[in-house]
Every structure is written in structure tokens, then in C-alpha cells.
Amino acid sequence: MVWPAQSEMQLYNTQTQTLDTTLLPDEVKIDLEKFNKDVLTENFNRVVCQELAKHIDPDLPGKTLIFCATDLHADMVVRLLKEAFENEQAVMKITGASDKPNELIRRFKNEKYPSVAVTVDLLTTGVDVPEICHIVFLRRVKSRILYQQMIGCATRLCDDFDKPCFHIYDAVELYKDMDEFSDMKPVVVNPKVTVEQLVRELTTAPEAARHEVLDQLLAKLQRKKRSLKGNTFQDLAGQSLEDLIQQLRTQSPKQVAAYFGERFALVSYLDTHRPNRAIYVVSTHEDEVAYTAQGFGPGKSLSATFHDR
């Protein structure tokens, strides 16, 4: 997405709930990696939701799980999906910011409505809803384990209706890029390295380097202390982040790897949680569906591509 030099860019402040306009001295490009995370793109999300409504009937048997980039993005998608489906009760946001999220998850699992759940940081792992037969990616992830767990939500066998397969709708070109994160990377001091990768290297890196990896992991957790103050971390870890760091300091790399190896949901949360942003770029670019493609295998995932006009 490109804003030319000397064009106007709109910025939305979530704290003051105001929309400001700034004149850009230089061209600004925002790549797909930041799409839906840093930019409020209502036109894009509208055409995605309208296209989904052509393929998914929320009144038929089967549940749909949609992964968004931020809580604000999830709010937008819920509103646009309700318009596209013309069914207010079919769609519900279930995120860490929702009121009583565990109760909402039970409703999604046990009741006819909601049949479409829009989430960010919840429902990525350990969700046992056999009726899920549609997975929609409106966000990108760098963790192959998290990606596989997200897809795994739709792999449960279902006895309530005929479910010969499930469908993945990829609107952010996630599928083709996952190979980049499937192999172990070298041990380096890199603030962008994921918790998942560091945990893996606690057992796969050369033994002489494993304590260095542990130090990197502890430093990464320390940097997250300010932003991880809610109940979600406490529920997943069973203790505060400060107490967990103190516990891990007394353990060997093998013990730390074993601890996180039993807590995939905690690893996923640590890698995907972001503090609430104050400023978002607002895009008014027009969008349209360029094509949809269906299939299996590398480069053949069920997907839809959307272009700016």
C-alpha cells in the first residue's frame, strides 16, 4: 500500500478517538507484514467480508474461525461481517478484551449462534470445537507451530454433520510464506527472534551455546514485563511473569525447554501479544477482489487475493 509524496495520510488516535490528517513530505509504503496491524483498511476488509459471504453460510451447520491482527481490527471485521451476512447474531468477537471470554467460547462451542468467531489472541490453540470447518486468515504469523495450531482448530472429526474436509481462506498471503520460518535459525542476538525459536534452540543449538540462548530468552521476557499485565498471561502460566522469570533463572536450558514444551498456548501468546497501539494509519484506498483460487499443496491453498484500485 503506497501513499505518494505530498499526499494526505489520516491517523486515528485510539486514546483520544480523533482522526487527524498529515501531509507527507515523502512517499510512504506499508508492506503486507504490517497490513491490518498498523493500518485501518476498512475498504479491504469490507471486500474480504463480502467475498466470504459468498462462500460461507452462517446459518448452515459448521463453524467459522477468523483470525485478526488486533482487537480494533476484530471490531471492524465483526461489524462488516454482520453487514455482509445480514445476520447480527451469527458473528461474535472473542478476544482477550471481550467480557467473560470463557463464557463466549462455550457459547461458540455449544450453541448454534454465534457460528462465526472473530479472534486475535484466543482460540489459537487447544480449542475443541469439532464443528469448525472454515478458517480465515486476516493476519500474518511468523510461527509455524502457531500456524499449524490455528489450522488444527478445524481438523477435529465431527459426528453432528458430514464434514469431509475443512476450508482455509487466506487473504494475507500467509500460506506461501511459512517455509521461511520452518527451519531453525542460527543463534544470534536479535530482538525480533520469537520465543518459539528460542525455546526450540534450547535443545537444538550446540550445547555450548544453549546458556546464551537461555539468556536471550530471559532478556526477551524481561522486555515484555510492561505489556503483559492482564489476566491472560496469568491464566496460561499459572503465575506472574516476574515469578516465572525468577523460576527460569534457577533452571537449566533443558528444564526451561521442557517447561515451555508443555505450554504451547503460552508460547503462542508470548509471540503474538502486542500492547495496544495508540496510533493507526487509516487507508481509504479502494479495493476489489482480483481473483480466488482453490487447491492443495504449495502455492495452491484456498485463497482470495484483493488489490487496491
Mean pLDDT estimate for the chain: 78
Same domain (yes/no): 165, 227: no
Over 60: is that where the pLDDT of 180 sits? no
The predicted-structure confidence for 187-231, as pLDDT tens digits, reads as follows 334 556 788 888 988 988 888 788 888 888 888 888 777 677 667
| pLDDT-derived band at 186, boundaries 50, 70, 90 | very low
**Confidence at residue 188, expressed as pLDDT on a 0 to 100 scale:** 38
Residue 10 lies inside a defined structural domain of this protein: no
**Confidence at residue 107, expressed as pLDDT on a 0 to 100 scale:** 93
| pLDDT-derived band at 304, boundaries 50, 70, 90 | very low
Same domain (yes/no): 48, 135: yes
**Confidence at residue 299, expressed as pLDDT on a 0 to 100 scale:** 45
Residue bearing the bigger pLDDT, 80 or 17: 80
Over 80: is that where the pLDDT of 42 sits? yes
Over 60: is that where the pLDDT of 295 sits? no
Its domain, for residue 74, covers: 40-178+278-308
Residue 32 lies inside a defined structural domain of this protein: no
**Confidence at residue 162, expressed as pLDDT on a 0 to 100 scale:** 83
Same domain (yes/no): 96, 241: no
Residue bearing the bigger pLDDT, 128 or 291: 128
Over 80: is that where the pLDDT of 51 sits? yes
Per-residue b or e along 87-103, where b marks 16 or more CB atoms closer than 10 Å to that residue's CB: beebbbbbbbbbeebee
Same domain (yes/no): 170, 56: yes
Q: Say what the pTM is.
A: 0.57
Same domain (yes/no): 123, 240: no
Any idea which of 122-131, 243-252, 254-263, 286-295 has the lowest mean pLDDT?
286-295
Residue bearing the bigger pLDDT, 114 or 34: 114
Percent of the chain with pLDDT over 70: 69
The predicted-structure confidence for 134-149, as pLDDT tens digits, reads as follows 999 998 877 777 787 7
Over 80: is that where the pLDDT of 31 sits? no
The predicted-structure confidence for 69-89, as pLDDT tens digits, reads as follows 888 899 999 999 999 999 989
| pLDDT-derived band at 163, boundaries 50, 70, 90 | confident
Give the number of domains in the chain.
2
CATH code assigned at 89: 3.40.50.300
Question: Of 170, 155, 148, 163, nearest to 62 (Cα)?
Answer: 163
Same domain (yes/no): 155, 283: yes
The predicted-structure confidence for 232-272, as pLDDT tens digits, reads as follows 888 888 888 889 999 999 999 999 999 998 888 888 888 87
Over 70: is that where the pLDDT of 183 sits? no
Over 80: is that where the pLDDT of 175 sits? no
What would the mean pLDDT of 89-111 be, rounded to a whole number? Answer: 89
Same domain (yes/no): 149, 200: no
Same domain (yes/no): 146, 263: no
Residue bearing the bigger pLDDT, 116 or 152: 116
Same domain (yes/no): 71, 209: no
Same domain (yes/no): 233, 265: yes
**Confidence at residue 235, expressed as pLDDT on a 0 to 100 scale:** 84
